[in-house]
Amino acid sequence: MTVSRPANGEEFRCMRGLAAKCMEEGASGFSIGLFYQPNEATAEEEVAAVGAAIGERQGIYTTHMRDEEDNMLESIGEACRTACAERLPLLISHHKCANVDKWGRTCETIGLIGMLKESHPINFDVYPYAAGSTILREEPVTDKFRIMVTRSHSHPEALGRDLSDITSD
């Protein structure tokens, strides 16, 4: 399913209500993957609408940022605006500068997060390796570095093979 339009007023109210109900039933916050479909069409205001219900109940906001490449600084800003406006501690999931051409930009991103952290609770986690994993989008696939299949239920014969070798078969 792909969502290609912003939520309307009734949908905002519904999302807020569901978020409030989940918090009342024991949720600790919410997590969103703006990088992935169908969430990539989600407007910042939609995230804030859900975040308001979570913030009112002292929850946490966890995000897979909208962009980890060219617009990563803007994505950090977007996440922080929502977190600050709704009084939500922020956790940036799997912080990285995706794409080998962007790897050195962590000096910029970590500097920005450090500056923003002075006035609002912000944290992030990272992979302890130079790799990634997704089954939800194929755009990150590149020939700039080795991509090895480490798990495949549907094609166990691919285990341990490089993607470039598999595609040339």
Is the distance from CB of 26 to CB of 34 less than 8 angstroms? Answer: no
Please state whether the predicted TM-score (pTM) of the whole model is above 0.85.
no
CA distances 76 to 11, 99, 136, 156, Å, are 26, 17, 22, 38
Q: What's the confidence (pLDDT) of residue 2?
A: 60
Q: Which residue has the tokens 């205001």?
A: 45
- Checking if the pLDDT of 1 tops 60, the result is no
Return the amino acid letter for 122. I
Structural domains present in the chain: 9-131 (3.20.20.140), 138-169 (no CATH)
Amino acid 111: pLDDT: 95
Tell me the pLDDT tens digit for each residue of 57-66.
Answer: 999 999 999 9
pLDDT tens-digit map of 129-162: 666 666 555 666 667 777 778 888 898 998 888 8
- pLDDT, tens digit (0-9, with 9 covering 90-100), for 94-107: 888 887 788 888 89
| Residue 31 φ/ψ, nearest 5 degrees | -130, 140
- Return the bridge partners of 61, or none: 30, 90
